[in-house]
Amino acid sequence: MNFELTQRQQLVRRSVRKFAEDVLAPVAPIFDKEAKYSEDIVKELSKINAWGIQLPEKYGGAELDSISYAITIEEISRICASTGLMLTVHNSVGAFPIYKWGTEEQKEKYLYDIATGKKISGFSWTEPNAGSDAQGIECIMIQDGEDFILNGSKIFVTNGAIGSVLLIGTRYKKENGQSGIAILILEKDMDGYEIGQPEEKMGMRGNITTSLYFHNIRVPKENVLGSLGEGFRIAMLTLDVGRIGIAAQALGIAQAAYEHAVEYSKGRIQFKRPISQFQGISFKLAEMATKIDAARLLVYRAAYNKDKKERFSKESAMCKYYAGKIAREVTQEAIQIHGGYGYMKDLPLERFHRDAAVTTIYEGTNEIMKLIIAQQILRGNL
Ligand SMILES: Cc1cc2nc3c(=O)[nH]c(=O)nc-3n(C[C@H](O)[C@H](O)[C@H](O)COP(=O)(O)OP(=O)(O)OC[C@H]3O[C@@H](n4cnc5c(N)ncnc54)[C@H](O)[C@@H]3O)c2cc1C
């Protein structure tokens, strides 16, 4: 077992960290306060090839391994979790399925623009009546000659406002009268595609979340991803990949809160001593450090298994479950260590805590992560 990062992975960490500290640190609090993102940042991210982290070079991607991908999301999220969200969704649940299950024509048509950030992508499954119960989607497409006519709506769509290529889950009628599930590649400029108002959110405010409405959209058959009945299976495999990114995001947020807490505890004097010298505080730091290390190992192991083409459903659910959970705990303890100052918006601690909260919810809640882990264990994948 080798726990060392390769030279390339170390270089990725150094360069992405520098980018995040130089470019994102000044804007992260503004994005949060004003609930906005910036086109300039989208362009800056293109310069470091962050839109096609794992896509092949022939499509303009950086063709990095999955650990480098996790490191990139971790480092970006350490400074600006909202930008980390935009990137992880685009790279994992947006770009990856097109690369993995797309036809050559679909790859040629979409991947270059996706890898270079000309088109932002997303994955939209959740509906008002279908959250954790992903099979409950009600969007419906009906065949009409060589096309499908799509109707329905989606909620809570990350990159919904800025995405121009969205993968959406929909039902269709099979010949035997039963319904199946398919994934369609939708483009924002299709007639009948409507973007809802931005949601007012607790955290991740620099990432715009919207609903999407589909009114009789005519979608050519060529826009089906994979084969018709394969939609649900593709979605589940895609989420296995996506969860590594969300876990890396949670890890980055926890790391940021922890670093602030260590620094603050060394400088804050009470009872004529730095508060770090009180065991009540130093033990908190010890717990934070241990949890973060454990989460990092789980995230990198899931990424490693993915690259080795081994099973990683259990591992990705475990890393998402644990990293999200400890991100909530660590950010809360970091506020505690900062005392009243931690509660104020002048410092980023309360932002970290608000941002961390959703990492146990999206791409499958922590309850659903435990279901997946338990199912795997009981099937013999101990
Ligand atoms: C900011 C944000 C961005 C998002 N982005 C996207 C996106 O880009 N694309 C997308 O498709 N979705 C997105 N989502 C949706 C997200 O994936 C869902 O919110 C999530 O899967 C949970 O679904 P729900 O909100 O309907 O909760 P519900 O499924 O209604 O769950 C409510 C509660 O019940 C629990 N629960 C449900 N079923 C079970 C069970 N069987 N056993 C135990 N507990 C259970 C849940 O864990 C949760 O605690 C986003 C959500 C947010 C908040």
E-strand stretches of the chain: 121-124, 140-144, 147-158, 165-173, 179-187, 193-195, 209-220, 224-225, 269-270, 273-274
- Of 212, 229, 246, the residue at which a domain comes to its end is 229
Residue whose entry in the numeric block shows the structure tokens 């602030």 = 260
Nearest to 281 by CA among 268, 294, 299: 268
- Of 87, 119, 151, the residue at which a domain comes to its end is 119
pLDDT value for 20: 98
Residues 132 and 222 in one domain: yes
Annotated catalytic residue within 105, 230, 363, 367: 363
Residues 252 and 343 in one domain: yes
pLDDT value for 1: 80
Residues 253 and 219 in one domain: no
d(CA 75, CA 65): 16
Give the total number of structural domains in the chain.
Answer: 3
Which range marks the domain in which residue 180 is found?
Answer: 123-229
> Do the Cβ atoms of 235 and 225 come closer than 8 Å?
no
Which tens digit of pLDDT belongs to each residue from 306-332?
999 988 999 999 999 999 999 999 999
Q: Which residues contact 180 (CB under 8 A, 6 or more apart)?
A: 171, 172, 174, 228, 229, 231
- Of 70, 97, 119, the residue at which a domain comes to its end is 119
Q: Whose CA is nearest to atom 6 of ligand 1?
A: 157
Residues 19 and 102 in one domain: yes
Q: Whose CA is nearest to atom 16 of ligand 1?
A: 362
143 is a domain residue: yes
Residue whose entry in the numeric block shows the structure tokens 């399925």 = 97
Distance, CA 359 to ligand 1 centroid (Å)?
11
Ligand 1 atom at minimal distance to the Cα of residue 201: 1
d(CA 298, CA 292): 10
Supply the DSSP string of 75-109, one letter for each residue. Answer: HHHHH-HHHHHHHHIIIIIIIHHHHHH--HHHHHH
pLDDT value for 100: 98
Distance, CA 242 to ligand 1 centroid (Å)?
14
d(CA 241, CA 243): 5
Which runs of consecutive H residues, i.e. helices, occur in 268-365?
279-307, 313-337, 339-343, 349-357
Q: Which residue among 154, 236, 325, 362 is best mutated to probe the pocket of ligand 1, counting the most ligand atoms within 8 A of its Cβ?
A: 362
Distance, CA 156 to ligand 1 centroid (Å)?
9
Residues 194 and 153 in one domain: yes
Distance, CA 57 to ligand 1 centroid (Å)?
35
Q: How far is CA 175 from CA 169, 178, 225, in A?
A: 19, 7, 19
> Do the Cβ atoms of 342 and 353 come closer than 8 Å?
no
1 is a domain residue: no
* Backbone torsion region of residue 269, taken as left when φ is above 0, otherwise alpha when ψ lies between -120 and 50, otherwise beta: beta
Q: Is the dihedral of CA 140, 214, 208, 165 positive or negative?
A: positive
Residue stretches of the chain with pLDDT short of 50: none
Residues with CB under 6 Å of ligand 1 are 89, 122-126, 131-132, 156-158, 201, 204, 209, 358, 361-365, 367-368
Distance, CA 362 to ligand 1 centroid (Å)?
6
Reply yes or no on whether 363 is catalytic: yes
d(CA 295, CA 318): 9
Q: Tell me, what CATH number does 65's domain have?
A: 1.10.540.10
Q: Whose CA is nearest to atom 7 of ligand 1?
A: 157
Residues 177 and 47 in one domain: no
Q: Tell me, what CATH number does 135's domain have?
A: 2.40.110.10
Report residue 379: phi and psi, to 5°.
Answer: -85, 0
Task: State the pairing for strand pair 269-270/273-274.
Answer: antiparallel
Ligand 1 atom at minimal distance to the Cα of residue 367: 47
Q: Tell me, what CATH number does 337's domain have?
A: 1.20.140.10
pLDDT value for 364: 98
Residues 240 and 150 in one domain: no
Residues 187 and 113 in one domain: no
63 is a domain residue: yes
Q: Whose CA is nearest to atom 35 of ligand 1?
A: 367
2 is a domain residue: no
